[in-house]
Amino acid sequence: MKRTVEPLPRVPEALTPPAAPMAAWPLAPMLAGARARGVADAFEWLGLAAILLDERGEALHLSAGAVELMKDDLFRDGGRLRAHDKLADVRLRIAVSAALRDGEAEDLVLPTRGGQDELVLRVAPIGGGLGDDSCQLLRVIIVLDRVAATRQRRN
């Protein structure tokens, strides 16, 4: 006896739900958080001072090393990284905006309050396709270092 399989009836397009983007999946926030957490863990493991920013330029994570290097020169204000020095604050905001908007990396050398050393920040967008992933919260990484002042400050 030969069996035949009848095809399923076609569902009208009007009743078919639209394909949801990846960000609409219920697991998307958990996946995004897990990826950012993995990057944060890698920076901690490497002993690098890093700050991870989201698409709004708000801090997702500050490594212990970053908190130590920030001292009295950088702080968080409503989630955003800020500098106490007004000019340094403007330069920092411009660098973060350029990384988010244009995908441009920039190295900043900021004076510290004590004047004995300088704070070096490498502001870099996430590249290599990772930044285009709708399940990716992490958009910018700032790596910090503190070095001895190399130039005379003008008053």
| Predicted pLDDT at 82 | 95
Q: Are 98 and 127 in contact, with CB atoms under 8 Å apart?
A: no
Judged by DSSP in three states, 28 sits in: helix
| Predicted pLDDT at 91 | 96
Length of the chain as a residue count = 155
Write out pLDDT tens, residues 103-149: 999 999 998 888 788 999 999 998 644 445 566 778 899 999 988 87
| Predicted pLDDT at 42 | 63
Count the Cβ atoms, other than its own, within 10 Å of residue 104.
13
Write out pLDDT tens, residues 63-114: 889 999 998 899 999 889 999 999 999 999 999 999 999 999 999 999 888 8
Please name each of the domains of the chain with its CATH number: 49-147 (3.30.450.20)
Q: How far apart are CA 127 and CA 152, in angstroms?
A: 36
Q: Are 34 and 135 in contact, with CB atoms under 8 Å apart?
A: no
Q: Are 146 and 122 in contact, with CB atoms under 8 Å apart?
A: no
Between residues 1 and 88, the one the model is more confident about: 88
Which of 4-13, 53-62, 117-126 is predicted with the least confidence, judged by mean pLDDT? 4-13
Residue 18, exposed/middle/buried by CB under 10 A (0-12, 13-18, 19+)?
exposed
Between residues 25 and 149, the one the model is more confident about: 149
| Predicted pLDDT at 114 | 80
